[in-house]
Amino acid sequence: MREEDKIANSKLNEILIEFLNSVTTLKSYASEIEIVLMEKAFKAFEGSGDELGTLALFLHYQNPQLYPLPSEKIEDFQKKHGEVPRNLTEFMEKFKDEFIKIFSDNNSVLAFAQLSATGEKLPLLYQSSLISLIVSFELLIARIIDSIISKFPQSIGLHKKQLSLETIRSIGNLNDVERFLVESEVQQLMFGGYKEWLKFFKDIIKIPTKRLDLLEANINEIFSRRNLLVHSGGIVNSVYLSRVDEDLTNDLKVGDKLDVSKEYLNTALELFEKYGVLLVFETWKKLDKSAVDRSFFLDYYCSMLFDAERWEFASEISLFRMEDNQNARERLIGKINYWMCQKWLGNIEKVRKEITTEDFSANTRDFQLCKLALLDQKDEFFKLLEKAYPSEIREHDLLNWPIFKELRNTPEFEEFIKKNFAVDK
């Protein structure tokens, strides 16, 4: 492998880590600000009568986004006031006296106003977070393209570009001229929009896009919604309707208003993370089919997904690893992880035959234990564990690998711990 290839791959690694950090920060930011706003709103309830809870619950039923209530508050109000009617006439008949009392009490009026204000602020929080997410994603794309063009300028014919003498003199030295050409190409591609970027990866880099194509319609809708929010205040126009897949417009018409809910933001965060990760891995694989550091990074990222129990996406990444051009051991690890994800998703019957027919006899006992765990063959598992521990499987593996999480809750596992692990465990 050439030195410039190694540099390009290392750069991709750094770019992906920075993007993942941005996504994680955005998730934390939105959640933390939301908590602060909600706490502020419900602090006002402390000095108001219980009657306000009935009105708050009624309004929440009518418009959950404008009048947000945490699940614990909903349960609390329901316990105190019983079932609150969702129809206005029925509500007024049942709670007429409470309704009058609410608006004759200053504390209740203040608490109601605070709740309303919180409902107005939250959509702005989600909207600004969505826009920040797209900026982070665009930066990811621009940096990947920049990295590739810088190392492989011939890929887009950059070595054939011509500049006037006046332009060259105004730029300065040769290195600056090269940067000018690269940055100009990147800027031009970025101005072309999402579909032009994808075309670069498909037609120039020629990465496989099977997995990316499954996300394309939703990614396109998010970009289109961002444009509406920024340029039209969220009001649906004919441009949006013409660019977005009909299945995603849900009978929208020109003049309707779109916003960003908490659920929409969370879905967007998930989608862009998936797309960004898959794009980097596919590009990385195209540039170097056998990069060892890619295998290490896949290990690290899968562990993050396992810890968060994001089994669906972990399943996709495990499939990538299984199909990646690595050695047999790496492919088997990817396969076991994929089967495990399917099991925790409730799809074990879908892969049971594959697991059962897979020959593990030539593999070390840690792999064999994984197969037994997947198939819930508990008795065989603990018999083999007695032979495998500690030479072929470590204490840390037994306590932390997610594939053993059900077995860790069994009496047999508790007995094994007492018998074999240190006392303080």
Give me the mean pLDDT over the 384-405 stretch. 95
What are the domain boundaries of the chain? 36-125, 127-271, 295-420
Buried/exposed code over 306-329 (b: 16+ C-beta within 10 A; e: otherwise) = beeebbebbbbbbbbbbebebeee
Q: How far is Cα 232 from Cα 320, in angstroms, rounded to an integer?
A: 40
For the cut 70, the answer to whether the pLDDT of residue 166 exceeds it is: no
Per-residue pLDDT tens over the stretch 340-358: 999 999 999 999 999 999 9
- 224-to-197, 209, 269, 371 alpha-carbon distances in Å: 15, 21, 16, 46
Q: What is the pLDDT of residue 185?
A: 79
Chain segment 18-74, per-residue pLDDT in tens: 999 999 999 888 877 776 766 666 565 554 555 556 666 666 676 676 566 667 777
When pLDDT is cut at 50, 70 and 90, the band that residue 9 belongs to is: low
Closest CA to 45 of 113, 98, 101: 113
Residue of higher predicted confidence among 221 and 149: 221
Q: Are 125 and 260 in contact (CB under 8 A)?
A: no
What would you report as the CA-atom Rg of the chain, rounded to the nearest whole angstrom?
Answer: 28
Distance CA(70)–CA(322), nearest Å, equals 41
Q: CA 220, CA 191: separation in Å to the nearest integer?
A: 15
* pLDDT range class, residue 7, cuts 50, 70, 90: very low
Predicted confidence (pLDDT) per residue in 280-302, tens digit? 999 888 887 777 788 888 888 99
